[in-house]
Structure 1
Amino acid sequence: MAIGFIGTGSMGSMLVESLIDAQAVEQNDIVVINRSVAKSEALKNAFPKVTIAFTLEELVKKCTWLFICVKPKDMPNLFKELAPLVDTDQLAISITSPVSIADLDLALPCKSCRAIPSILNRARSGSMLLSFGEKCSPKDRDSLTQFISSISKPLHIEEQITRVSSDIVSCGPAFFSYLAQRFIEGAVSQTAITEEEATELTTSMLIGLGKLLEQEHYTLPTLQKRVCVPGGITGVGIEVLEQMVGSGFNELFKQTQKKYLDEKEKLTVEFSYK
C-alpha cells in the first residue's frame, strides 16, 4: 500500500524518517510532495527509493493513505484542490489540531482522521493523538492505530481535549527543553561549571528521569518526596521554583487554548465554503 505525504517540513519529514527507520513501511511505498521541491529532494537524498510527486493528482492516484502535513492556514485551499481528486476508499490523515474532525469530514469525500505526532516519535517513543471521522470503519481505525504504534503509543482522544492533549504531547518537549536550557544557564551563571559540563549532566539526568518513570519505580510526586529531604538543599530549590513558577503553567495553557480557539474559528469560517 502506497502512503502519501503532502508537506515535507519539520513534522512531515520526521514522520517519514521515523516510519522508515522503524520498518513500518518500505521506502518505495512512500510518495511525497512539497511546495518547495528542495525539501522533498533532501528527503529523497536520505531515502533514495522514496518517490517525489510533482502534482497532487499524481500523488493521490498512487496512494491509499494521505498524510496532510501542511500548516493549518493552508488547509482550506489544499482541500479545495484535493476534494475532486480523492475517492471514498482513501483515508486523509491530518496532523494538525485546529481543523476539527467535522470539518475534515465535510471538506473531503474520502474518509478522514487526525493523527497528531510528537517529536518524541523520532525516537520511537512518546504518544500520537488519534481521532477518527464518522466515515472511518473499525478496520480503518485498527489499521492506522497498528501502523503508528511502530513509532509511538497511540492515544484515542475526544475533540474537546484536542488542544490540551497536543500541548502536553506535541508542544511539551519544546516547553521542557526550554526549562532545561534555562536550568543549564543558571548553573553556568552562578558556579564554575562550564556550559558543556552542565549540558552533559542535565541531559544524562533527564534521560535517567524518563527511565525511572517509564519503569514505574516512582510517580512524579513520589520521586519528589524521595529526593527532597526536609530542610535539605533540594527543599531550598523547590521553594525557589514554587515562587518562580507559581501559576505560570495555568497561564501557559490559558494562552495556548486561546490561540487554538482563535485559529479554529478562522478555519471554520474558511471551511464553510461548502
Structure 2
Amino acid sequence: MSDNASTSPSPTPLTLLGLGAMGAALARTWLAAGHPLTVWNRSPGRTAELAAAGARTASTAAEAVAASPLVVTCLLDDASVRETLAGADLTGKDLVDLTTSTPAESRARAAWANERGARFLDGGIMAVPPMIGVPEAGGYVFYSGSRELFDTHRAVLAVPAATRYAGADPGLAALQDVALLSAMTAMFAGARHAAALVADADIDRKAFGVLVADWLAAMAPATAAYAGGPAPEDPTSAAVAEAGDAALLRTAREQGVDTALLLASAGAVEGM
C-alpha cells in the first residue's frame, strides 16, 4: 500500500433525512463521491433509487440518526424537522439543517439541538436541484453556527455545492438565504408583470421572453447598490426617473394590469 493510500482520510459517513428533489440530488452527489450514506424519507418509495446506488435505508428517522455521527436534514419546513427528530437521540451528533427557515427558527433550532447534546449548523441552499453536484453551475450553500463544526465537515459539505460560512449566529445563513430568495421572487414578479402587459398585443411571446431575460441580466449588476454594494454610474436625473416611473404606471393602467407591484416597488425605493 502506498503512503498516500495509507494516509488518505476515509470518506465521511453521514445520514440524510428528506428525499425530495433537493434531498435526492444531495444524496446522489454524496454517494457518487464515495461517502457511506444512510437515508430516510417519510415516503419510503423514494429510497429505492438511492438504495440501488449504495445507500443504506433506515425504516425510521431515529434509526437513521443513530447510524451516523453527521446528520443532515433537508425537509419541508422547520416544523417537519422538529417532528422528524422528536424521537431521535441527538447526543453527540453533528446536526446540519438545510431546511429553508427563518432566522428566528434557525436560532431556536440551534438551541433545541444543543439542549439535546448535539452541535448545530444551519444551512441556506442557494441552488436548485439540477445545480447540485455541478460546480460550474455556481450554486452554493450558506452555513452559520458553530465554526468548529463547519471546519470539521467542510470537505463533505462542499461535495454537493460550494460552501460559504456566514458567521457564528445560527440565523445568518437563513437571513441571507431568504433575503436573496426575496430578491428573486420580486424579479419573477416583475417578469410576470411584463408578460401581462404584452399579453393581448401582437408580439411573439417566446421572443419577448428572451428579451425579458436578457434585459434583466444586463441590469443585474446595478442591483448591488440597493444592498450596499457599489453603485453604477447613472446619468439619469431624478426628474427623468420620476417621469419614467409615471409612464410605467400609466401603461399598466392602459393595459388593464394591476399596478400593485409597481406601487410597492416605488414605495420601497422612496423609503431607502
Q: Which residue of 1 aligns with 2:68?
A: 63
Cα distance in 1 between the residues matched to 2:79 and 2:124: 16
Counterpart CA distance in 1 for 2:174 and 2:270 is 14
Shift in alpha-carbon separation, 1:130–1:191, aligned structure 2, 3 A: same
Identify the structure with bigger relative contact order (alpha carbons < 8 Å, sequence gap 6+).
1
Cα deviation, residue 33, structure 1: 1.0
Match of 2:88 among 75, 82, 107: 82
Any stretches of 5+ residues in structure 2 without a counterpart?
Answer: 1-11, 132-136, 250-261
Aligned to 2:178: 167
Cα distance, 1:182 vs. partner?
Answer: 2.4
CA distance in 1, matches of 2:98, 2:246: 37
Pairwise CA distance, 1:10: 4.3
Q: Is the contact between residue 32 and residue 52 of structure 1 (CA under 8 Å) also seen in structure 2?
A: yes
- Identify, as 1 or 2, the structure richer in helix: 1
Partner of 1:13: 24
Cα distance, 1:36 vs. partner? 1.1
Kept in 2: contact 1:148–1:154 (CA 8 A): no
Q: Could you state the TM-score of these two structures normalised by the residue count of structure 1? A: 0.64
Structure 1 residues not aligned, in runs of 5+: 252-274
Corresponding position of 1:92: 95
C-alpha deviation, 1:28, in angstroms: 5.8
1:1-274 matches, within 5 Å, as 1-16=12-27, 20=29, 26=33, 29-41=36-48, 44=50, 48-70=53-75, 71-83=77-89, 86-88=90-92, 90-96=93-99, 97=101, 98-100=105-107, 101-106=110-115, 108-120=116-128, 122-123=130-131, 124-133=137-146, 138=148, 140-149=149-158, 151-157=161-167, 158-159=169-170, 161=172, 164-186=175-197, 188-189=198-199, 191-207=201-217, 221-222=231-232, 225=234, 236=244, 240=248, 243=263, 245-248=265-268
Shift of 1:130: 1.7
SS at match of 1:115: strand
In 2: Cα distance, 1:14 partner to 1:175 partner = 27
Deviation at 1:5, TM superposition (A): 1.3
Distance in 2 (alpha carbons) for counterparts of 1:56 and 1:160? 25
2:9 corresponding residue in structure 1: none
Q: Which has the larger radius of gyration?
A: 2
Match of 1:265 in 2: none
Cα distance in 2 for partners of 1:207, 1:160 equals: 30
Does the 8 A contact of 1:229 with 1:235 survive in 2? Answer: no
Q: Give 3-state SS (helix, strand or coil) of 1:189's partner.
A: coil
Percent identity reads 11
